[in-house]
Amino acid sequence: MIKLALFPGDGIGPEVSNEAVRILKFVFDVNRVSYEFEEELVGGASYDSYKKPITEKALKIAKESDAVLFGAVGGYKWESLPIELRPEKALLTLRYDLGLYANLRPAKVYDDLIDASPLKKDIVSGTDIMIVRELTGGIYFGQPRGIFDTGNGQKKGINTLAYTTEEIKRIAIVAFEIAKKRRKKVLSVDKANVLESTELWRETVAEVSKCYPGIELSNMYVDNCSMQLIRQPRSFDVIVTTNMFGDILSDEASMVAGSIGMLPSASLNGKKGMYEPIHGSAPDIVGQNKANPLATILSAAMMLRYSLDLDSLADKIEKAVENVIKKGFRTLDIYSSAPGTKASGTKEMGDAVITELKSIFK
Ligand code: IPM
Ligand code: MG
């Protein structure tokens, strides 16, 4: 029996995760896989009911499940809460408490979606990048942190960027292992010309690379990387980087791919994983059947692959998504007026994926 935790969260989170759950149930049923979902509120929704963004109960459900499907958290309503109570804290607590140190964010350009990218076709065509972002360390979690009185009427805000060799080693290993199954290139991104913590990052990744003679390692400073991503996105294979640089570069990479509504993610600690679209809760389009569910559906596919050893089902979902795109189904974020385009809502997109899956399983 597969046990899945379901945390739809806020904003469009429930709408998009609903579609992903429909798809998961469909492929499990067709393949007679038994499963159960346990659902709980997280983020702002949890704050409204329980006065905290994540409860002990939700954490327990997450810990006892094989994998977590997460929608999105956040919204205008909760923006002025103290940082400890904000919806985002749910995400950070889950990442930290489950030890999900490896965040995989693939950014792949679908040929049929090339027009959705604001960049020129011949630049983005063929782009297929895997960003491996360190997720439980670095400036997001380093101590000391906080806002302190300086004593002379001023305040000082502090965050700490720290990495240990062990933290760097384990994320580097994930990146090299992934590169083995891809085009065998790892690019480590840092700011080693200025920051000691990333000087250690660079040295440690180089050390790990000695165990992977078949993989080509290169290094780039983050400022240069953000430029090269726009200039020649096709040249990238696997990018391994720190928590904050990965946060920023993955949003940038999503625009190369066309829409942030298309990009899935997996946050892993071995087989244990949490799966979520990289987009946020999009409060401006909540409840209007406008959100693109494909990022969450593709996250569900990653769940099958990385946590549940159901690779062939993952392949089928990915194929179905590709076909749906090919057939012209488009939510607002990827809409174009090209002939054959079918303007679709969240639900229609989910239906289209199920229709494709039906013919794939036939
Ligand atoms: C992401 C998000 C989160 C992050 C926020 C919501 C805390 O931007 O997953 O990329 O910064 O990690
Ligand atoms: Mg982000």
Q: Which atom of ligand 1 is nearest to the CA of 103?
A: 9
Of 161, 110, 132, 142, nearest to 247 by C-alpha is 132
Instruction: Give the confidence band of 170 by pLDDT, cuts at 50, 70, 90.
Output: very high
Check if 191 is active-site. yes
pLDDT average, residue stretch 305-332: 96
Q: How far is CA 113 from CA 155, 326, 335, in A?
A: 48, 8, 9
Of 296, 293, 290, nearest to 343 by C-alpha is 290
pLDDT average, residue stretch 151-166: 97
Q: Of 101, 140, 275, 306, which one is the catalytic site residue?
A: 140
Q: Is residue 112 part of a domain?
A: no
Q: What angle do CA 182, 185, 191 make, to 5 degrees?
A: 135
- The pLDDT assigned to 361 comes to 94
106 strand-pairing partners? 130
Buried residues in 165-179 as b, exposed as e (16+ CB within 10 A): eebbeebbbbbbebb
Q: Is residue 111 part of a domain?
A: no
Same domain? 125 vs 252: yes
The answer to whether 21 and 39 are in contact (CB under 8 A) is: no
Same domain? 268 vs 247: no
Distance 34 CA to ligand 1 centre (A): 32
pLDDT average, residue stretch 154-169: 98
- The pLDDT assigned to 224 comes to 98
Instruction: Give the confidence band of 260 by pLDDT, cuts at 50, 70, 90.
Output: confident
The pocket of ion ligand 2, defined by CB under 5 A, consists of 247
Spell out which residues line ligand 1, taking CB within 6 angstroms: 88, 91-92, 247, 278
Instruction: Give the confidence band of 259 by pLDDT, cuts at 50, 70, 90.
Output: confident
Residue closest via CA to ligand 1's atom 10 equals: 247
Same domain? 223 vs 131: yes
Instruction: Give the confidence band of 306 by pLDDT, cuts at 50, 70, 90.
Output: very high
Predicted TM-score (pTM) of the model is: 0.95
Q: In total, how many domains does the chain have? A: 2
Assign residue 269 a region (left: φ > 0; alpha: ψ between -120 and 50; beta: otherwise): beta
Same domain? 241 vs 268: no
Which stretches of the chain are assigned E, i.e. beta strand? Answer: 2-9, 35-39, 67-72, 102-108, 128-134, 142-149, 155-160, 185-190, 216-221, 238-241, 264-269, 272-277, 329-330, 342-343
Contacts of 108 (CB under 8 A, 6+ apart): 127, 128, 129, 257
As given in the structure block, the two tokens for residue 248 are: 């920023």
Query: What are the backbone dihedrals phi and psi of residue 346, each rounded to the nearest 5 degrees, phi first?
Result: -55, -50
Distance CA 68, CA 322 (A): 24
Distance 28 CA to ligand 2 centre (A): 31
pLDDT per residue as tens digits for the range 55-85:
999 999 999 999 999 999 999 999 999 999 9
- Mean pLDDT over each residue of the chain, to the nearest integer: 96
Q: Give the domain range for residue 146.
A: 118-257
Check if 48 is active-site. no
Same domain? 126 vs 245: yes
As given in the structure block, the two tokens for residue 82 are: 């103290």
Q: Is residue 113 part of a domain?
A: no
What percent of the chain has pLDDT above 70?
A: 100
The answer to whether 224 and 277 are in contact (CB under 8 A) is: no
The CATH number given to whatever domain includes residue 42 is 3.40.718.10
Q: Which atom of ligand 1 is nearest to the CA of 250?
A: 10
- The pLDDT assigned to 160 comes to 98
Q: Which ligand is nearest to the CA of 105?
A: 1
pLDDT per residue as tens digits for the range 6-54:
999 999 999 999 999 999 999 999 999 999 999 999 999 999 999 999 9
- The pLDDT assigned to 161 comes to 98
Check if 284 is active-site. no
Q: Is residue 109 part of a domain?
A: no
**At residue 258, does pLDDT exceed 90?**
no
Distance 230 CA to ligand 2 centre (A): 18
pLDDT average, residue stretch 229-257: 95
pLDDT per residue as tens digits for the range 82-95:
999 999 999 999 99
Residue closest via CA to ligand 1's atom 9 equals: 278
Distance 342 CA to ligand 1 centre (A): 31
Instruction: Give the confidence band of 281 by pLDDT, cuts at 50, 70, 90.
Output: very high
pLDDT average, residue stretch 176-183: 97
Query: Mutate which of 247, 276, 278, 279 to test ligand 1's pocket (most atoms within 8 Å of Cβ)?
Result: 247
Which residue carries 């087989």 as its tokens? 271
Check if 247 is active-site. yes
Q: Which atom of ligand 1 is nearest to the CA of 73?
A: 6
Q: Which atom of ligand 1 is nearest to the CA of 265?
A: 9
Q: Is residue 39 part of a domain?
A: yes
Q: How far is CA 142 from CA 137, 204, 243, in A?
A: 7, 19, 11
Same domain? 75 vs 132: no
Check if 327 is active-site. no
As given in the structure block, the two tokens for residue 39 are: 């659902």
Instruction: Give the confidence band of 337 by pLDDT, cuts at 50, 70, 90.
Output: confident
**At residue 336, does pLDDT exceed 90?**
no
CA dihedral 250, 255, 260, 265 (to 10 degrees): -30
Distance 268 CA to ligand 1 centre (A): 15
The answer to whether 155 and 167 are in contact (CB under 8 A) is: no
pLDDT average, residue stretch 110-115: 88
Q: Is residue 108 part of a domain?
A: no
Same domain? 203 vs 251: yes
- The pLDDT assigned to 116 comes to 81
